[in-house]
């Protein structure tokens, strides 16, 4: 077991690929050895008692999940995988002996509606454990993950809750079972003989893969050695002070095959970057929040791309924005200016160092904006701004500020709340959202710029973008924070044509419409950035296909989806710390890493 002064270290914090982290006496399997073991596990894993279709878990937004382990030596692996999919609180059942009993454990679990219990043959020698499972399955969702030979099943005759049973006892079987519970892997096997009066030959339920799987590159036909170039480029970025740190994630064929953190939060090298760290996604907000909501409302028939801003924003009807079609806005062809003035326009009387009814909008520490500043100053600036380039492609933050007004007027729900309720929480995205300091401590959030001009502080958990900051951190063009795993989940859903975890978020034709080339004057889709047909630009990278779509972020982030290769590529960094720097771009860090992935795909095994 890997330890530090605090005891066990969660595997998700230890760098590249969960399964590449030693958590037991034997070194973990990699490459073909991992796949060989996984096949053995898959051929011996059976799902029983699933007539209610509880497995794989669905509607994550309704679940409060706990995982209980006793003597499972691979509990750390199992629990770490569970937490890739949703927040799962961990309980050590072995602590409930002596003065504390399993009745106390039941009491401690009263606010959980879903309990995952890890058991092996030794654990089931305790009749109190069978009683614990039997009593909880009456009024809660209970799933039993059973490891070991057939005698395990014979002791579970009284259990009516779903059982994911595998004969194999290994790190791989721990991963496999956890993934199967959430649909990262489908179960296809049935019992091949009688194990008890209840569990007999031919029994077993079949499930489909509905979520990301976490595995080795070889599982997707890639030699792990061919991805080592990612390390070199990431280390170059840090060495050249292009960014203090970064996280890279690659998912191929619905499988996360590479996920590694590099460097530190800042150049003082105190807090190392972790896979679970939360980044300011900057303009990735445009596609990851505002465009997602726009797609869903389009799918529902509540929004039409052919209607105008005046149709949805009453205040726009007496402005030069009245007849601008939604399609033009999403394409950045509405003639809107790139941005409005931000801090440079704020008067001394517009802000205060303390919050009050008169100054309610928190911009950063000790900086509060006066009530209705957006309505009195910013929105009029947007409405009164000139239209100089209509019909041409001019990238504009104002476009997504207007789209925020459009979707909020349609739904009567603030953008941040809508996307949280309709996308991030149901998808199991545990960190994604606006205003992260309301949910997380600053040490989990990667800092951006040290703003010495206006906010007079290091921005850690407060949005970097100045216009979004004056909106209180929630804006259509910036303000979203999240981890690499969360970004991967969201865009795997898009790559799946709107489907993930057994739910359909929008129809495939809506995904195709928004992510395909829609303009004769630019490479853009609707909201989405796309592959550039001008070859010398090599955008988003030299080897990306003409199907690639995604977006970058000013803070040093990007998401690119390439349907041709069934690929999701996430790069998150804070290149603006401690001040805005251009080396991440001039060194082509993001596209070069992306091309390493393409080259590895081409080389195969």
pLDDT at 356: 98
Each residue of 255-283: pLDDT tens digit? 999 999 999 999 999 999 999 999 999 99
Q: How confident is the model at residue 289 (pLDDT cuts 50, 70, 90)?
A: very high
- Domain ranges for the chain, please list them: 31-211, 228-603
**Looking at domain 228-603, which CATH architecture does it have?**
3-Layer(aba) Sandwich (3.40)
**Alpha helix segments (H runs only) across 440-528:** 466-470, 484-495, 508-515
* Average pLDDT value for residue range 491-513: 98
Residue 316 pLDDT > 60: yes
Locate 28 and state its tokens. 């973990």
Residue 26 pLDDT > 80: no
Output the pTM of the full model.
Answer: 0.95
Residue 3 pLDDT > 80: no
Instruction: Work out whether strand 245-252 and strand 567-573 pair parallel, antiparallel, or are unpaired.
Output: antiparallel
In this prediction, what percent of the chain has a pLDDT beyond 90? 94
Each residue of 523-542: pLDDT tens digit? 999 999 999 999 999 999 99
Each residue of 559-586: pLDDT tens digit? 999 999 999 999 999 999 999 999 999 9
Q: How confident is the model at residue 17 (pLDDT cuts 50, 70, 90)?
A: very low
Residue 12 pLDDT > 80: no
As a three-state string, the secondary structure of 3-20 is EECCEECCHHHCCCCHHH
Mean pLDDT of the chain: 94
User: How would DSSP label each residue in 275-302?
Assistant: TT-BEE-TTHHIIIIIHHHHHHHHHTTS
* Average pLDDT value for residue range 278-299: 98
Residue 4 pLDDT > 60: no
Q: Are the CB atoms for 295 and 511 separated by under 8 Å?
A: yes
* Average pLDDT value for residue range 217-230: 97
Each residue of 75-96: pLDDT tens digit? 999 999 999 999 999 999 999 9
At the fourth CATH level, the homologous superfamily of domain 31-211 is: Glycoside hydrolase family 3 C-terminal domain (3.40.50.1700)
Q: How confident is the model at residue 29 (pLDDT cuts 50, 70, 90)?
A: confident
Residue 461 pLDDT > 60: yes
Q: Which of 180, 110, 118, 182 is closest to 140 using CA atoms? A: 110
256 three-class SS? strand
* Average pLDDT value for residue range 141-169: 96
Residue 115 pLDDT > 90: yes
pLDDT at 28: 67
pLDDT at 14: 31
């Amino acid at each position: 077991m890997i330890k530090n002064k605090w005891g066990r270290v969660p595997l998700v914090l230890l760098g590249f690929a969960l399964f590449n982290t030693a958590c037991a006496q034997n070194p973990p399997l990699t490459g073909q050895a991992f796949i060989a073991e996984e096949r053995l596990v898959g051929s011996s894993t059976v799902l029983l008692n699933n007539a209610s279709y509880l497995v794989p878990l669905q509607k994550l937004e309704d679940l409060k999940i706990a995982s209980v382990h006793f003597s499972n030596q691979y509990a750390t692996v199992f629990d770490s995988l569970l937490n890739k999919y949703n927040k799962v609180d961990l309980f050590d059942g072995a602590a409930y002996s002596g003065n504390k009993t399993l009745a106390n454990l039941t009491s401690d679990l009263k606010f959980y509606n879903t309990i995952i219990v890890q058991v092996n043959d030794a654990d089931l020698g305790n009749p109190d454990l069978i009683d614990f499972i039997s009593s909880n399955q009456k009024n809660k969702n209970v799933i039993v993950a059973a490891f070991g030979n057939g005698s395990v099943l014979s002791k579970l005759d009284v259990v009516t809750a779903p059982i994911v049973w595998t004969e194999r006892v290994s790190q791989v079987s721990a991963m496999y079972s956890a993934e199967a519970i959430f649909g990262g892997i489908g179960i296809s096997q049935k019992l091949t003989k009688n194990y008890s009066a209840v569990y007999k030959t031919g029994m077993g339920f079949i499930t489909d893969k509905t979520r990301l799987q976490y595995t080795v590159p070889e599982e997707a036909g890639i030699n792990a050695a061919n991805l080592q170039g990612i390390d070199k480029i990431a280390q170059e970025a840090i060495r050249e002070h292009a960014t203090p740190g970064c996280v890279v994630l690659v998912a191929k064929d619905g499988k996360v095959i590479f996920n590694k953190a590099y460097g530190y939060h800042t150049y003082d090298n105190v807090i190392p970057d972790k896979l679970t760290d939360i980044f300011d996604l900057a303009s990735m907000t445009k596609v990851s929040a505002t465009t997602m909501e726009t797609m869903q409302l389009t799918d529902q028939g509540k929004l039409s791309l052919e209607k105008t801003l005046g149709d949805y924003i009453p205040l726009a009807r007496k402005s030069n924005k009245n007849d601008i079609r939604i399609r033009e806005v999403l394409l950045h062809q509405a003639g809107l200016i790139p941005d409005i003035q931000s801090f440079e326009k704020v008067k001394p009387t517009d802000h205060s160092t303390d919050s009050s009814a008169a100054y309610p909008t928190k911009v950063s520490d000790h900086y509060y904006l006066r009530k209705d500043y957006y309505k009195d100053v910013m929105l009029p600036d947007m409405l009164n701004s000139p239209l100089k380039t209509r019909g041409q492609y001019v990238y504009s933050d104002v476009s997504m500020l207007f789209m925020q007004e459009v979707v909020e007027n349609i739904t009567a729900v603030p953008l941040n709340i809508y996307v949280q309720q309709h996308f991030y929480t149901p998808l199991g995205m545990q960190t994604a959202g606006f205003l992260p300091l309301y949910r997380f401590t600053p040490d989990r959030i990667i800092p951006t710029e040290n703003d010495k001009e206006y906010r007079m502080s290091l921005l850690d958990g407060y949005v970097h973008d100045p216009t979004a900051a004056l909106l209180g951190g929630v804006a259509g063009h910036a303000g979203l924070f999240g981890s690499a795993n969360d970004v991967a989940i969201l865009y795997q859903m898009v790559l799946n044509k709107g489907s993930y975890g057994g739910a359909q978020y929008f129809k495939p034709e809506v995904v195709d419409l928004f992510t395909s080339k829609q303009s004769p004057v630019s490479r853009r889709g609707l909201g989405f950035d796309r592959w550039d047909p001008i070859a010398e630009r090599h955008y988003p990278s030299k080897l990306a296909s003409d199907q690639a779509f995604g977006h970058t972020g000013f803070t040093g982030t990007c998401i690119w989806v390439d349907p041709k290769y069934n690929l999701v590529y996430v790069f998150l960094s804070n290149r603006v710390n401690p001040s805005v720097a251009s080396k991440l771009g001039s060194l082509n860090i993001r596209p070069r890493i992306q091309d390493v992935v393409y080259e590895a795909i081409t080389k195969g095994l």
